[in-house]
Every structure is written in C-alpha cells, then in structure tokens.
Amino acid sequence: MISKEEVKHIAKLARLELGTSSSRASTDKEIDKMQKNLSAVLDYFDLLKKADISKKKPSFTRATEEQARKDEVTSLNHDMAEKIIKLLPDKKDDYIKVKTIL
Amino acid sequence: MNLLELTIKELHSGLKKKDFSSTELTKAYLSDIKKNDKNIGAYLKVSEELALSQAKIADEKISSQENITYLTGIPCAIKDNILVEGQNCTAASKILENYVAPYDATVIKKLKENGAVILGKVNLDEFAMGGSGENSAFGVTKNPHDKTRVAGGSSSGAAAAVASKEACYALGSDTGGSIRLPASFCGVVGLKPTYGAVSRSGLIAFGSSLDQIGPIAKTVDDAKIIFKVISGKDKLDSTSKNYEFSDLDINIKDIKIGIPKEYFVKGIDPEVEKIIKETIKKVESYGAEIKEISLPNTEFALACYYIIAPAEASSNLARFDGIKYGLSENQKDLLDVYLKSRGRGFGSEVKRRIMLGTYSLSSGYYDAYYKKAEEVRNLIRQDFENVFKEVDLIFCPVSPFPAYKIGEKLDDPLLMYLVDIYTVSVNLAGLPGLSLPVGKIGSQGKEGGLPVGLQIIGNHFQENKILSVASFIEKMLQ
C-alpha cells in the first residue's frame, strides 16, 4: 500500500494539485481516493515479478534508431507563428509572459 | 435511396454519375446530426461551415473531373485529439477547452488533398485515456445499439458516429485498443495500423511508442480506402515508415490462422466466445487452416501496458502547464500556476495516469516498474515473432464482453483497465489489428442486440493480408 505522504510527493513531482486548496476536505478526499486507486493498480503490477526475463537481454524500445535527421533550417510560414502566439494565455508583444521566479 | 446508408465506394460512384452532389450529401449528414446526435452525443463540435465549403470544392472537382479520388466529397468525422486547422481541438479535456488548432495533422492534410469533407470533431475519453468514453470532460457518448450502454473508448464518438450514420467514416487513434474496442462495441470496422504506418504528426500525444491513427468505417473495403490515403512516410514524424500498401487478394485456402489459447480463458463472456468460435469454424469450413497457438506472456501484457502507457503519458502531458496554451489559472507564483492549471484542467482518470506514470519513473521505483515493463514488452514482442513464423494471422476476440452499462465500471480503475486485456499486446508489439463485426448477442433476427467484434492480428506491415481476409469473412457472413 502506497502511503498518503508518497501520494503527496508524487503529486508534487507531477505538478498536480489534488482537490482544491481552498477546501481541506476535498483535498483529503482526493488524496484518499488516489491512495486507494494507485495501491490497487500497483499491487496488480506485482504480477510482472513472475515474468521470466532471464533469457532475454534488456533492450529498450528503439524509437530513435535510424531516424536521426539532419540539423537543417527549414522555413515555416509566418501565419503559423501568429496562430501559436495567439494561443498564449499571457503575453507581452510576441513573448510568453511568466511569473517571476527569483 | 437513403444516402446515409451508403458506403464510400457506393457514394463515390453516385457522385461520379451525378446522382447527387457532395453538397446534398453533406447537408443530409448535417441535418441528421442535428436531429439525432442529441441522443448519441458523438460530436463535440460540428464544423458546418468548413464541411459545406469543402463539399462545394469537391463538387467543382467532380464536375471538372480533376483529381477525384474515392474520398472526394465524402463526409467524415475526426476524433478530437487530431488537429484540424482553425477548429477547436479539446482532447475532451477542460485544459484544452478553448484551444484552436494552429495547423493540420498530416492525416488531415492528406484527407484534404483527397477532397474530404470534415463534418466535425467527435468525442473521446479525455486524452484518449479510457476504454468506455466515460472519461470525456464533455459528456458520455452513448452506444447506438443500446443508449444505456457505453460506446467503447477511447474513440467513442468516432465509432458511434459511423454506427449511427452521422458520418460515412471517421479517424480514430489507438494506444491500447482505442479504435478496435469502440468499433467492436458499436458494430463497425476499425483498423489499428502497424506502428509507423501512419504519421502521428498533429495527433495529441498520449503514449508515443504506442499511438497510431487509423480508420473506423462501415466496411472493410472502406477502411482500406482510408488507410491507403493516410499511410506513408512523413518528415514530421521520425517514426513513420516508407510504406507502399500493395493490394492483395488472398485465397482463404492458403491462409493459416492461429488461435491463441491464452485468449479463451476464464472471464470471457460465453456468448462472445460462442460467436467468435462459430466464426472461426466457418472460416475453417471454407478451407483455412486453423491452428492453436500459444502467446505465453499474455498474462503480463496488461500490467506491462499500464506501466508503459502512463509513464509516456506523464511525460507527454507535462506540456500542459498553463503557460504555453490551454487553461491557465492566474496565481501569484509560477509553481501555483502549474499546480492549479493542471489540477483543475485534468479529469480524474488523466490525473490517475499521470500519477501512475510519475511513480513508476521516479527515483527508486524505475527499475522495479518501468525498466521491468520494457523487458516484459520484449517478451511479448518475441511471442508474436515466434507465432508469425507458423501462422499468417491471429484470430481472437476484441473484448471479453460486449458494451456494458454506463457507470458500471467507473469507480474501479482496475476493472476498467481489464477491458483492454485483448487489445494492448498488439500496441506493445507495434502490430496491426482490425476489429470486424461478426455477430450480435441477444438479437432477434437482424434487429437489436449487442455487436461482437473479431480481432484479426497480422505481422508488421501486413495490413493487406488482414484486410483481404477480413473482406472474405465480411462476405461470408452476409
């Protein structure tokens, strides 16, 4: 069983707020539910311990093999940049505006 | 003649003969959607203006007879995780509720080049995470065969739209069964292509080593027409392959079909089992060789998938941060912008998967979960490699049971994940798979009942073999 502290830690790593900060009860409820749900699924994952991987060398999905491309400048139309800038939630001129972090 | 009943091929011939125009056809679909979709909930947004302008262009092309293909002037629906320029693309999530796609996905570019008519964007489980369609932030799509039941997911709206004749065909995406499962539940044809056969550029990413876009259609022939148009190498997707589809007309007597014994075990609905086995028997009576096979690592597939897919999702969905686009909660500091935008923007299933993925990638757990799952994935891949040395295709059910009641499994994620038990292996191994409607449970004659889909799995890039045999079975069952 995963602990409540672990749930909170993972949520922080994932940048997810659980519940709403204005209501302590809703936060506790969502953490409880997440604890219960995650524990059940993680218990199920224990099944993989039975898998016999001794015969097979570990190799990862080769998603990038033979697929490297040349580093080259390509032209994109200016319209696209405008459309993307239009989607910014907060901006100044054509720049993304973020909160100060220092 | 009811235009909405016709297949792509039949409509194409009617358009060419000027029996009707694409504008008439498009209007027929639009008015049917207006009248009936409130009972189904397949569409998130109907793009009437776009559809009518595309129909007009198609009609001009048809009268001047230039560049006409099978898809010219034929109305379709697009799953709302595929970008159509200038249209909303929500992925059925509150975090993208007001997002307008700045460009076309490669598959959309290809459809447009072929003169397709886009009726609108259709519902899905939020970010394609789910097997029922119930995880949409904008309502549940209902199964056209029984409106108290789910349409299946995650391409819920795509399958329901085709089944209820609110689109002639649709594009869906399949990460762990998301095309095949709703196709099976709704009684339509769904093809999940080989990984790399279709460009993923412009598909909102869920599990990048698993995702594929594919067609949902009324017939096998229609699915083939669409697949031929959307497949092929794209420089915007480095995992896409140079792939020329070659038509194949197979004699069923030359085909060896493997039946994996691990797929017919406890937990399968006896009615589903009966329909699948009867179909297999019938195919055998036409001369196909049927052989029992073993995929020994099948029992690990679901656990393996539910580690890998959420791990990739947790990374892919990091881009929704309240800064670049989508829902943004204005807060005093940056961390709070992240926490609140994501906390309020994502639904509970998406949060659960981000949490699962973050957990199995986090320090101390990586080896036990993610690395282990990748190793097991290799075993699963190996199982299929071995089997395809002996057989041409694999037949099994798409789902252990037919469409279930809305709300039935919603509170228990593990129960919900078990729906994917027969579909995830195909994605883990990057194989093509098709769902073909082969019967109905509880039907009296042709009316009523819940559809059951046969899953036909082939080796990498052997969509032609799958489609040829599926087409044979389709005719056999008529």
- As a residue count, chain A comes to 102
* Amino acid B352: pLDDT: 96
Chain A to chain B, count of Cβ pairs less than 8 Å apart?
152
Nearest by CB: B375 against A17, A45, A58: A58
Percent of chain A scoring above 90 in pLDDT: 50
Considering only the C-alpha atoms of chain A, give the largest distance between any 2 of them, rounded to a whole number of Å: 59
Record the pTM. Answer: 0.96
Nearest by CB: A38 against B238, B335, B355: B355
**Cβ separation of B103 and A83 shorter than 8 Å?**
yes
Nearest residue of chain B to residue A34 (CA atoms): B352
Closest CA to A35 of B209, B363, B351: B351
d(CA B301, CA B303): 6
**Cβ separation of A87 and B356 shorter than 8 Å?**
no
DSSP-derived letter for residue B369 is: I
User: CB B334: neighbour CB atoms within 10 A?
Assistant: 15
**Which one is predicted more confidently, B93 or A82?**
B93
Nearest by CB: A56 against B330, B382, B417: B382
**Structure tokens, B464:** 């032609």
Q: What is the DSSP string of B237-291?
A: BTT------------GGG-EEEEEGGGSSTTS-HHHHHHHHHHHHHHHHTT-EEE
Instruction: Check pLDDT > 90 for residue A72.
Output: no
Shortest distance between the Cα of B281 and any Cα of chain A, in A, equals 33
* Amino acid A56: pLDDT: 62
Q: pLDDT confidence of A69, banded at 50, 70, 90?
A: confident
Beta bridge partners, B457, equal B394, B433
Shortest distance between the Cα of B75 and any Cα of chain A, in A, equals 27
**Cβ separation of A20 and B343 shorter than 8 Å?**
yes
**Cβ separation of B356 and A16 shorter than 8 Å?**
no
Shortest distance between the Cα of A91 and any Cα of chain B, in A, equals 9
d(CA B75, CA B328): 35
Q: pLDDT confidence of A76, banded at 50, 70, 90?
A: confident
Say which amino acid occupies B110: K
Q: B116-172, pLDDT tens digit by residue?
A: 999 999 999 999 999 999 999 999 999 999 999 999 999 999 999 999 999 999 999
**Cβ separation of B342 and A67 shorter than 8 Å?**
no
- Answer for the pair A21, A8: CB distance below 8 angstroms, yes or no: no
User: What ranges in B41-105 are assigned the alpha helix state H?
Assistant: 48-64
Catalytic residue among B93, B164, B173, B178: B178
Alpha carbon distance, N-terminus to C-terminus of chain B: 21
**Structure tokens, A70:** 């040349």
**Cβ separation of B102 and A84 shorter than 8 Å?**
yes
Q: pLDDT confidence of A1, banded at 50, 70, 90?
A: confident
* Amino acid A74: pLDDT: 81
**Structure tokens, B311:** 């791990």
Nearest residue of chain B to residue A38 (CA atoms): B356
* Amino acid A23: pLDDT: 77
**For chain B, what percentages of helix, strand and coil (3-state, to nearest 5) are there?**
45, 15, 40
Nearest by CB: B414 against A14, A40, A98: A40
Catalytic residue among B21, B47, B136, B154: B154
* Amino acid A59: pLDDT: 58
The kind and range of the H/E element at B450 are: strand B450-458
Nearest residue of chain B to residue A69 (CA atoms): B238
B178 carries an active-site annotation? yes
Chain B environment of A71 (Cβ under 8 Å) = none
* Amino acid B446: pLDDT: 58
d(CA B75, CA B50): 11
* Amino acid B1: pLDDT: 72
B154 carries an active-site annotation? yes
Shortest distance between the Cα of A25 and any Cα of chain B, in A, equals 16
* Amino acid B244: pLDDT: 87
B184 carries an active-site annotation? no
Chain B environment of A45 (Cβ under 8 Å) = 303, 306-307, 360, 369
- Answer for the pair B57, B115: CB distance below 8 angstroms, yes or no: yes
Shortest distance between the Cα of B167 and any Cα of chain A, in A, equals 29
* Amino acid A54: pLDDT: 77
Q: Please state the ipTM of this predicted complex.
A: 0.91
pLDDT tens, per residue, chain B with 478 residues: 799 999 999 999 999 999 999 999 999 999 999 999 999 999 999 999 999 999 999 999 999 988 899 999 999 999 999 999 999 999 999 999 999 999 999 999 999 999 999 999 999 999 999 999 999 999 999 999 999 999 999 999 999 999 999 999 999 999 999 999 999 999 999 999 999 999 999 999 999 999 999 999 999 999 999 999 999 999 999 999 998 899 999 999 999 999 999 999 888 999 999 999 999 999 999 999 999 999 999 999 999 999 999 999 999 999 999 999 999 998 889 999 999 999 999 999 999 999 999 999 998 999 999 999 999 999 999 999 999 999 999 999 999 999 999 999 888 888 888 889 999 999 999 999 999 999 999 876 556 899 999 999 999 999 999 999 999 999 999 9
Nearest residue of chain B to residue A68 (CA atoms): B238
**Which one is predicted more confidently, B40 or A55?**
B40
Nearest by CB: A88 against B103, B324, B375: B324
Instruction: Check pLDDT > 80 for residue A37.
Output: yes
Instruction: Check pLDDT > 90 for residue A67.
Output: no
* Amino acid B434: pLDDT: 98
* Amino acid A66: pLDDT: 62
Shortest distance between the Cα of B381 and any Cα of chain A, in A, equals 11
Chain A environment of B238 (Cβ under 8 Å) = 64, 67-69
Nearest by CB: A37 against B208, B321, B352: B352
**Cβ separation of A13 and B362 shorter than 8 Å?**
yes
**Which one is predicted more confidently, B103 or A25?**
B103
d(CA B325, CA B314): 18
* Amino acid B267: pLDDT: 85
CA distances from B421 to B163, B426, B445 (A): 24, 10, 30
Shortest distance between the Cα of A67 and any Cα of chain B, in A, equals 6
Place of tokens 């959307």: B230
Test the B interface: residue of A38, A61, A70 with most B CBs within 10 Å:
A61
CA distances from B279 to B184, B396, B436, B470 (A): 15, 10, 11, 12
- Answer for the pair B51, B119: CB distance below 8 angstroms, yes or no: yes
Test the B interface: residue of A33, A37, A57, A79 with most B CBs within 10 Å:
A37
d(CA B137, CA B145): 23
Nearest residue of chain A to residue B195 (CA atoms): A63
Chain B environment of A96 (Cβ under 8 Å) = 323-324
* Amino acid B410: pLDDT: 82
Nearest by CB: A51 against B334, B352, B376: B376
Q: Which residues contact A10 (CB under 8 A, 6 or more apart)?
A: B355, B358, B359, B362
* Amino acid A78: pLDDT: 81
Q: How far is CA A54 from the centre of its chain?
A: 31
In angstroms, what is the C-alpha Rg of chain B? 21
* Amino acid A16: pLDDT: 96
Nearest residue of chain B to residue A30 (CA atoms): B348
